[in-house]
A = this chain, B = another copy of it.
Amino acid sequence: MSNGFLPITRPTSLSEQVVEQVRTAIIEGRLKHGDRITEAMLTEMLGISRTPIREALILLAREGLIVNAPNRATFVRVFSASDVEQIFSFRTTLENFAGELTIGKLSPMDIDWLHASIEKQRAALHADDFKAVRSVDMAFHEYLVVRSDHPILLRAWREIVAQIAAVLYLRAEAIHDYDEYQSLRDHAAIVEAYQSRDLAHLKMLNEQINQRVAAECVRAVESARR
């Protein structure tokens, strides 16, 4: 019976916390692709027992961020070029589906939110706060998926996006002259497509944008294989 007062936050279980920790460590590049992770390592680093750590690793493996080598260890996943292409093609499919569900249903308030998001990202960019840029960027896309009101889609999208986040770290490392403003133009175009309720155009944008980013990431992945 939540009444607004005393917003008790359920103490999230240790395994969930470990999932968070390890996931962000991978996304932020503190755990690098191919790195070996042993359960003993994590027990020491985090000061908890192996049980919740094992449970976390199982989930992360399912999420595609790490791979298990039975009886040996687990490794931070190394993405191949074709992995990257598949990840982005799948993302395109999911976002197109979100578009089908949502394109006729966005309210003016939603559109406002999206415009505000773009401006927030622009501000973060001016402040050179690239971590904020990434998170606002992701939030923009997530908003559209959340709005589609389709939990299964949302979960699948979040999983794939975790993998993308891991790969984007490589792009940032490999491509220094990356045009960060491109993303703002992309977002504006997407909002426009939603506003004009032009599904075909939206899909074309999704495909085009994801293919471009995918190509960048493939370059990054390939230059990282040295």
Residues of A within 8 A of B (CB): 10, 13, 15, 51, 54-55, 58-59, 62, 64, 70, 86-87, 89-90, 93-94, 97, 150-153, 156, 160
Contact partner of A59 among B54, B62, B89, B90, CB < 8 A? B62
A90 touching B152 by the CB < 8 A rule? yes
Nearest chain B CB to A70 CB, angstrom units: 7
B153 touching A90 by the CB < 8 A rule? yes
Q: How far is the CA of A150 from the CA of B87 in the complex (A)?
A: 9
Q: Which residues of B contact A15 (CB under 8 A)?
A: 58
| Identical chains in the assembly | 2
Output the residue of A62, A87, A93 with the most chain B CB within 10 A.
A93
Nearest chain B CB to A8 CB, angstrom units: 14
Nearest CB in chain B to that of A153: its residue: B90
Nearest chain B CB to A9 CB, angstrom units: 13
Nearest CB in chain B to that of A61: its residue: B59
- By Cβ-Cβ distance, the 5 closest A-B pairs, closest first, are A93-B97, A90-B152, A86-B152, A86-B150, A156-B156
Q: Which residues of B contact A70 (CB under 8 A)?
A: 10, 13
Contact partner of A55 among B58, B86, B94, B160, CB < 8 A? B58
Q: Which residues of B contact A94 (CB under 8 A)?
A: 93
Q: Which residues of B contact A93 (CB under 8 A)?
A: 93-94, 97
Q: Which residues of B contact A97 (CB under 8 A)?
A: 90, 93
A87 touching B152 by the CB < 8 A rule? yes
A–B complex contacts, Cβ < 8 Å, 23 sampled: A10-B70, A13-B70, A15-B58, A51-B51, A54-B55, A55-B55, A58-B58, A59-B62, A62-B62, A86-B150, A86-B151, A86-B152, A86-B153, A87-B152, A89-B150, A90-B97, A90-B150, A90-B153, A93-B93, A93-B94, A93-B97, A152-B160, A156-B156
